[in-house]
Structure 1
């Protein structure tokens, strides 16, 4: 190696990403040595030469080699196998792993390369379909000096090179980025389901989002609101929380009315405070505990439910309010809906229809559970509690549904 322009590039694996990297390198004037198992793997890759016979041959002809394989086993074989890169590597070679593998594998391969005095970088890439257009972002983990050595080659196929930290950081960043991608897909799926159930063409939803947020800033808004220390300011979280919970509650209410399934929304609502990095709400002072328990009782079973126990002075009733509702139902760890389903399961083992009716009614009036979901729960519980006890569960749920249905007008969907 004499200067950056004379750094020789190599690519092992000529699939969509590896083949695209090779094409971008060739277009830049740094024609790579390549290897793949099919002898005609480069036939449709503009400017890319015929594959060499093994990774070892690529190592001999390269200073920086990109390894674009599918999984950890292939990465081990290409790098450390009998005819792998290390079998013919000289000190100073740099290997850049483009495959998404577990972090322990990254460190194993890094240690293996270090024993051969070979540099190693883990490199997540995105978007893969832009590989042949010099259009990917290279997400790197590894030593800065190693990255500096490989940077001229990386820059010939990536539109941006981002070092995220030490070895493994590139892979971790790529995995985290994938969580955002697929998590947002699930959010889009639920939003589309909700819109469609309300009679809205999903194309109109897309039009609204594209117009209101053309560059997708909202998706990463939470990340960008973090301070220099990487922590979301408490004041920001407290400002957002009431708006976030109000909007999520509105989504849950609409979904319950329309019979739409939105499990992600349920999780997001239950974990709203964790999302905004707000501390768990401190328990109320002892003087306020009883009132808080009464309010939680109404939240669980519907407005006015607590009037039946107010002023009783009975020790058991007081503990039910002060402990069960104020300190257990009122905890942040599970949503009210989660706790209701757990309680419904326990009540089903007792076989008391009147208790089942109270629990089921709370789920209905709070728009946490639809009649169909409760009926499905009866069948599920019957398998675990036995058919005889499930008869009482069925009776209680049916009574709750009948009372609830009689107290409100039918929805537009039910009238169809």
Structure 2
């Protein structure tokens, strides 16, 4: 039966055209359609396009839809001359376009109404479509996958069934995050290397040689269990090395005068990445004014800061919690970081290093400002508050940075 299944392809761009060529090479010459009537002339073994998606539906059992966006997918599948207008019960539509999950579920429901199978299918890498070189990333019912599998295997080097409808698209989207996120990582790392006088080609050579199969990129996934949980022992073992290396990257960027925002984010989120931070408790309701004020105090200055005043009953402490933090710091419109910067500016005008240290420490604990950004604040404020008051600001900021750095767990290398 697998030999008798007939294939169709709609949309003969790089992906669809490549799929059609691979099918033809495999001996399963597809019925095809494209809005450009002469597009198949350059595609080896691919016949001339038919007149509409409906004609493809009449000729094929498994139809790959390789369009660009959701509107095109809707038109091709359920439009006036779409696949469903002529499809008999039983065939399967395989959507290769990257669209939002609600669109996937919408189209799957429309197909189900016509007793037509539906699979969402992310594909990668697109430039290998004509060489039977793509991975088909499927979402859909197992029965539908099994029925379409012989056709899918004629154009894909690997078929991965990820789960129910939508799972293929979700996997493709997540995979793209890894791809483009790593591009940003490479761009920042290459800029750091070049600024240090290193040819980026040497960086590529080191990475290719040390990690030829790219296992490091997905090492975090491989260390997690099937529920996505990283063993605590691994997280604690990894954290000192991870933070030491990222701190070194921050220091190098600062020495070279480079911005390294990704490094800053990764360093700030290191414990969360390694699943060493427990989920924060939900915020108290705003109508519980005192509890919410204590919560905002900890949001502003770090976990546990509010313990110094939570049992105080004097009017000043009470109003500090109930009004300053619950009703001012807790207002929408400015973030905690925005309010911290404003408060730091005010503290700089009074020349009290111990107050500056409290504010700067909150910024470091919450990961809102790096040490270098705080030092930049000192220089900026010096021009507005005067050099003498800025000396106190510098003293407070430096004390906060030193205390925060000392609180880090030293690595085995640092302990030697």
TM normalised by structure 1 equals 0.74
Distance in 2 between residues matched to 1:373 and 1:43, nearest whole Å? 64
Q: Name the CA distance, whole Å, in 1 between partners of 2:94 and 2:79.
A: 16
Aligned mate of 2:345, from 348, 364, 381: 348
Partners of 1:353 and 1:393 within 8 A in 2: no
Q: Could you say which residue in structure 2 is the equivalent of 1:87?
A: 85
Residue aligning to 1:310: none
> What aligned pairs does 1:10-89 form with structure 2 within 5 A after superposition?
10-89=8-87
Structure 1: distance between partners of 2:165 and 2:171: 11
- Residues 292-335 of structure 1: CA distance to partner in whole angstroms, max 9, x if unpaired? xxxxxxxx9xxxxxxxxxxxxxx9xxx99xx99xxx9xxxxxxx
**Is residue 256–residue 370 contact of structure 1 (8 Å, CA) maintained in 2?**
no
Give the Å deviation of 1:392. 3.6
Q: SS at 2:64's partner residue?
A: strand
- For residue 159 of structure 1, give the secondary structure of its aligned residue in structure 2: strand
2:9 and 2:30 in contact (8 A); partners too: yes
How far the C-alpha of 1:101 sits from its partner, in A, is 0.3
Is the counterpart of residue 121 in structure 1 residue 119 in structure 2? yes
The match for 1:368 is 372
Match of 2:102 among 90, 104, 115: 104
Q: 1:9 & 1:198 partners in 2: Cα distance?
A: 55
Counterparts of 2:370 and 2:196, CA distance in 1: 20
- Counterpart Cα distance in 2 of 1:390 and 1:347: 14
Instruction: Please state how far the C-alpha of 1:260 moved relative to its aligned partner.
Output: 1.2
Segments of 5+ residues of structure 1 without an aligned counterpart are 284-299, 301-314, 329-337, 379-388, 405-416
Q: In the TM superposition, what whole-angstrom CA distance separates every residue of 1:35-73 from its partner, at most 9, and x where no partner exists?
A: 000111111110000111100000000000000000000
Q: Pairwise mapping of residues 1-400 of structure 1 onto structure 2 (< 5 A)?
A: 3-280=1-278, 342-348=339-345, 352=349, 354=351, 358=356, 367-369=371-373, 391-392=384-385
CA distance in 2, matches of 1:18, 1:106: 19
CA distance in 1, matches of 2:102, 2:241: 41
| Alignment check: 8 A CA contact 1:72 1:101 kept | yes
Aligned length: 346
8 A contact 2:360–2:374 mirrored in 1: no
TM-aligned CA distance change 1:108 to 1:210, over 3 Å = same
TM-superposed CA distance for 1:354, in Å, is: 3.6
Aligned with 1:37: secondary structure?
A: coil
Answer yes or no: is the 8 Å Cα contact 2:10–2:53 preserved in 1.
yes
